[in-house]
Amino acid sequence: MKKFAFIGAGSLKFTSRCIRDLLLFPAFDECEFALMDVNRQNLDYIVQVVQKILHEMGYSDKCKITATMDRAEALRGADGVLCTVFNGDIDIWQYDILIPKKYGVDINVGDTRSVSGIFRALRNIPLMLDICRDIEKYCPHAVFLNYTNPMSMLCGAMQKHANVEVTGLCHSVQGTIEMLAGWLGIPKEEVDYKCMGINHLAFYTELKHRGTDLYPALRELVMTNPDIYNEEQVRNEMFLKLGYYVTESSGHNSEYNQWFRKRPDLIEKYCTHSTGWNPGEHAFSLNIRKDRKADPAQQYIEYLNKEVKKVKSYEYAADIFNARLGDGKPFIFNGNVLNRGSIPNLPEDACVEIPVVVDRMGFKQTMAGKLPEHLAILANTTARLENLTIEAAMKKSRELVYYAVYNDPLTSAVCSLDEIKQMCDELFEVNKEFLGDYK
């Protein structure tokens, strides 16, 4: 019986999807799900969710549920670990959004990049390394899959400073392919692509259907169909100007560069009226979290009142676990790994998102090749300041944090050096419970 530990199990979307997906593989029709969360209410609700999944899929008598607030208990003897933790609830996370706004830095999500993503990384890197130490102690051979953001910085820190088999997963790669295929009227299974870069800032350097380049048709569609253009205004504008499509949503990408959020008129033009799920409004994800905290049970109750879908989601986790721990069928996915020359024009020690092959023997990253140079410039800046942030977290260096934020594309487009330093000092003060004494 395989054991899967879910650290931060109260994350309804990822826990429910992964467990449902695992049960669709014959290798996992008898297994233990160890659910761990520091929030007792969320833990109790996610147990009910998993019980519902097992019952409706016919596995109540075959699979075991263990619920605990003790991480060591959840990890002991685990074969696979899935992490969706959130260190610093909205009570602290809100300051990552509100303090930069005082200085003119308008944040949409703030979980991956810019000054908000950097401070979120500083809070989460010590927690992730603690989880790794527990994995080394209680399940040293486990496959560790991380869904927590900021993905590149957390995975980079773990891959450099821990001895675990870990990669980071995001669904923006396959989600964007599903969107583009729908626009083009092509079954998503028939779209062939190569995607590489860094998490949330990876580009499809190849996009084909039966050997035919899809980019000319996509460009024509984006240029001539207002409904298509308006669905993803930031990403479509980037595509038309840069020539390649980027993975993550418009709202996210608007805060990863210097082009869309540095002035109120640009925010109004590009980040307000898009029809996609995340146009780019200020504090988008924070406001969702506030709604959930006001009524924490609602999302679970809604799930419990719906029928469980017995079809696989587009998440990678179950396929990876099956390749490593199940029938061994190799699986190709876009994972977050240390570069080691895979993209020659990005830093050697950067955490990149590239095609990875997984089988019984482990993860095998591919040699993805060079990014187009103009895209490499954009990714290089971010990758290097992410490396600097990891170093700052390990050394507890306030000065290195300043350097990283000084070079952030959005922050530097809005603020002076002195303003950035003052902003960081304010963020250090409200984060001192999590960060301790940075020198």
Structure tokens that stand for 111 in this block:
């979980």
Q: Where are the beta strands (DSSP E) in 240-359?
A: 331-338, 351-359
Rounded to 5°, angle at Cα 289 from 37 and 51:
40
Instruction: Please give the helix or strand (H or E) that residue 51 lies within, else none.
Output: helix 40-57
pLDDT at residue 124, as a whole number:
97
Q: Under CATH, domain 170-282+318-439 is a member of which superfamily?
A: AglA-like glucosidase (3.90.1820.10)
Segment 4-20 shows an average pLDDT of 97
DSSP structure class, residue 213: E
pLDDT at residue 3, as a whole number:
98
pLDDT tens digits for 323-359? 999 999 999 999 999 999 999 999 999 999 999 999 9
Does position 190 have pLDDT exceeding 90, yes or no? Answer: yes
Equal fold, 2-169+294-317 vs 170-282+318-439: yes
Q: Which of 27, 9, 23, 18 is nearest to 329 (CA)?
A: 27
Q: Are the C-beta atoms of 383 and 345 separated by less than 8 Å?
A: no
Segment 279-295 shows an average pLDDT of 94
CA–CA gap between residue 95 and residue 426 (Å, rounded): 9
The values of phi and psi at residue 169, to 5°, are: -120, 145
Place 107 in a pLDDT band, splitting at 50, 70 and 90: very high
Segment 235-258 shows an average pLDDT of 98
Does position 89 have pLDDT exceeding 90, yes or no? Answer: no
Higher pLDDT, 293 or 319: 319
pLDDT tens digits for 123-182? 999 999 999 999 999 999 999 999 999 999 999 999 999 999 999 999 999 999 999 999
CA–CA gap between residue 110 and residue 94 (Å, rounded): 10
Which residues are known catalytic residues?
171
CA–CA gap between residue 415 and residue 102 (Å, rounded): 11
Does position 204 have pLDDT exceeding 90, yes or no? Answer: yes
pLDDT tens digits for 389-433? 999 999 999 999 999 999 999 999 999 999 999 999 999 999 999
CA–CA gap between residue 252 and residue 175 (Å, rounded): 14
pLDDT at residue 415, as a whole number:
98
Q: Are the C-beta atoms of 178 and 314 separated by less than 8 Å?
A: yes
Q: Does domain 2-169+294-317 have CATH number 3.30.590.20?
A: no
Q: Which of 129, 105, 64 is nearest to 409 (CA)?
A: 105
CA–CA gap between residue 299 and residue 39 (Å, rounded): 15
Q: Are the C-beta atoms of 260 and 105 separated by less than 8 Å?
A: no
CA–CA gap between residue 305 and residue 323 (Å, rounded): 33
pLDDT tens digits for 112-139? 999 999 999 999 999 999 999 999 999 9
Whole-number average pLDDT of the chain: 97
Structural domain boundaries in the chain: 2-169+294-317, 170-282+318-439
DSSP structure class, residue 28: G
pLDDT at residue 88, as a whole number:
83
For residue 170, what are the CA distances in angstroms to 151, 329, 336, 365, 419? 8, 21, 9, 16, 33
pLDDT at residue 392, as a whole number:
98
pLDDT at residue 87, as a whole number:
86
